[in-house]
Amino acid sequence: MTNQDREESVIVLAQIENTFILINQYREPLHMNITQLPGGGVEEGEKLEDAARREFREEAGFCCGKLHYIGELWPAPWMSNEVTHVFFTNEVSEQLGQRLEAHETIEVSFLPVNDCIERIQKNIYKDAELCYAVLLAQSKELFSL
C-alpha cells in the first residue's frame, strides 16, 4: 500500500514545563466530549511536519519549535486504512489563538504529565491516539515523570 492509497493525519503531543497541552471536543459518534491531542488531516502535497505545525496552531493556538517524529498508528484498521503520524514537542511558544474550522468547538487544557498518565492508567482517557502518543514519547524518554 502506498501513501497515496490511504488517508493520513497527524497529532502533536506537546509539553510545556510539566504539563501536556490537550484538547477537549465533542465527538458525535460517542455523544460526548473527548480529551485528545491537537491534530487533523494532512492536505494533499503537504509535508507531515508542516501539517502537524498547522494543526497544532489551528487547534491549540500555539506555535512550536522542533518537532520529533516518534511513530505512527492505525487508529481504526477494522474500518479504515488511515494512518496517524505522531509528533512530540517541548518547544512551545507564542499563544496566537485558535483558528478553528466552522464545525469545530475545541477547548484547550493543560494537564500535569503525571495526572495525564494516571488518567490513562485508570482508563479515564480512552482516546487511542492520546494513549499511544504518551506511551511512545515515554518509551523514547522524551519526557520524565
If pLDDT is split at 50, 70 and 90, which confidence band does 100 have? low
Cell triple for 140: 523514547
Question: Which pTM value belongs to this model?
Answer: 0.89
Three-state secondary structure call for residue 125: coil
CATH 3.40.50.12280 fits 3-37+50-139, yes or no: no
State the helix-helix crossing angle for 113-121 and 128-139, rounded to 10 degrees. 120
Q: Name the pLDDT band for 2 (thresholds 50, 70, 90).
A: very low
CB 69 within 8 A of CB 85: yes
In whole angstroms, what is the distance from residue 26 CA to residue 106 CA?
A: 8
Residue with cell 480529551: 35
pLDDT in tens, 13-47: 999 999 999 999 887 777 888 999 999 999 999 99
